Structure 1
Amino acid sequence: MQSSAQTPEEYLHSLPAERKEAVIRIRTELLNNLPEGFEEGINYGMLSYHVPHSLYPSGYHAAPEKPLPFINLANQKNFIALYHMGLYSDPKLLQWFKEEFVEHSSKELDMGKSCIRFKSMKDIPFELIGELASKITPKEWMDTYNKVIKR
């Protein structure tokens, strides 16, 4: 479900009541914990936390006019999705997250390559999401992206 919102505020305003509080809490954790240099915006119809063109001028390889994506947050039909590209590209970070998740949630981790799906709003490990967001700086992400993904 891609939103037509043009700003993060418009995106939040458009959310269904039953998801709004959870998305706002995840957003707050991201904004409070992401290292300096990442920017918030809207990309691909969802909240985007990315490396801006001012730091990475060539942008995303599949769409160079877009900034380099790092984390996206979206309200989907049946769940809230948190897309974290670092989990996709860093096996050590992925292992850390999987181990920590069982300590922070009573639910089984529902995850694809970079997509974490939250179907129950009451079982979202908000603090863990904040800690995950703090683990990679923009410079580290650009280096990883150049080495692992952009090759």
Structure 2
Amino acid sequence: MQIKVDTVEEYINQIPEERKEVIQKLRKIISENLPEGFREEMSYGMIGYVVPHSLYPKGYHCTPKLPLPFINIASQKNFVALYHMNLYANQSLMDWFVSEYPKHSKAKLDIGKSCMRFKKLDQIPYQLIGELAQKITVEEWIKTYEEKFGIA
């Protein structure tokens, strides 16, 4: 469910009322914990945290005119989603997250390669998501991205 807007504020205004507080809380915890260099912007119809072209001119290999994505948050039809590209690229980080999750939430972890789906909005592990956001710098993400996705 993509919302066609230009700004994060417009996005938040368009989502269902019961999700606004959750999205704003996720946005705050991510923004407070991301290492310097990532930038918040609309990305793929979601709130995105990206490596701007000023730091990585190549952009995203699938669409080079777009900056390199890192984290996205979205209000989907039946859940709130958090996409974290480094979970997809880094198995040890995925293992860490999966092992830590039960310590922070009673809800069953619903996760794909890089997408976490939160259907129980009162069970989102905000503190754990903050820790996850801190785990990698822009420079480390670029290096991992290029190695894992064969970018030269």
TM range (shorter): over 0.9
1:132 lines up with 2:124 in the alignment = no
1:35-60 CA deviation, whole Å, 9 max, x = no partner?
00000000110001000000000100
TM-score (norm 2): 0.97
Aligned residue type for 2:58:
S
Q: CA deviation at 1:5?
A: 1.4
- Residues 59 and 67 in structure 1, CA contact (< 8 A), matched pair in contact too: yes
Q: Give unpaired runs (5+ residues) of structure 2.
A: none
User: 1:149: which partner in 2?
Assistant: 149
User: 1:76: which partner in 2?
Assistant: 76
CA distance in 2, matches of 1:150, 1:25: 35
CA distance in 1, matches of 2:42, 2:7: 6
How many residues are treated as equivalent by the alignment?
Answer: 151
CA distance in 2, matches of 1:135, 1:58: 23
RMSD value, Cα = 0.7
CA distance in 2, matches of 1:25, 1:55: 27
1:99-150 CA deviation, whole Å, 9 max, x = no partner?
1101000011000100000001100011111110010100000000000013
User: 1:92: which partner in 2?
Assistant: 92
CA distance in 1, matches of 2:89, 2:44: 20
- Residues 61 and 150 in structure 1, CA contact (< 8 A), matched pair in contact too: no
The structure 1 segments of at least 4 consecutive aligned residues displaced by more than 6 Å after TM superposition are none
1:12-49 CA deviation, whole Å, 9 max, x = no partner?
11111111111110000000000000000001100010
Q: Give unpaired runs (5+ residues) of structure 1.
A: none
